Amino acid sequence: MTWMKENYFLSLFAAGSVAFILYLIISNSFSTDESLQINIKQGDSLWELSNEYGVNEDKKVWIDKVMAMNNLQDVHIKAGEVLKVPITENSYHFDNETEIAGDTK
């Protein structure tokens, strides 16, 4: 305990560093997803929109997200409405297969 009293500046620095790191972790964990606003056209449905905008995600999960983002009570949408849809991140798939020289696929 006497070491902390003698080196209070180090104790304050350590406590401040821990607080700053916790702030960064907490603020990033509660960040909201980015979204895109789209205009609904005649004949659009959430299922069709999930094919276009939710390509990397399960359709049901994507539709549930859109319903929550727009406070929708059911899956029915109308032409002329503006909906927020989540922006999907680009995912890259690396082919880690071994290729032998002269091997044709």
Report pLDDT for 34.
74
In this structure, are residues 49 and 76 in contact, taking their beta carbons and an 8 Å threshold? no
Show the tokens assigned to 66.
């859109």
Claim to verify: residue 50 and residue 62 sit in the same structural domain: yes
Q: What is the dihedral of CA 42, 57, 105, 98, to 10 degrees?
A: 160
Burial of 68 (C-beta count, 10 Å sphere; 0-12/13-18/19+): exposed
Give me the domain span that covers residue 26: 1-31
Claim to verify: residue 82 and residue 39 sit in the same structural domain: yes
Report pLDDT for 93.
47
Show the tokens assigned to 51.
């094919």
CATH number at residue 54: 3.10.350.10
Q: Looking at the domain assignment, is residue 104 inside a domain?
A: no
Claim to verify: residue 42 and residue 22 sit in the same structural domain: no
CB atoms within 10 A of CB 50: 20
Q: Quote the pTM value.
A: 0.52
In this structure, are residues 84 and 70 in contact, taking their beta carbons and an 8 Å threshold? yes
Claim to verify: residue 48 and residue 82 sit in the same structural domain: yes
Q: pLDDT means per 10 residues in the chain (105 residues)? A: 76 87 71 76 91 85 91 91 79 57 63
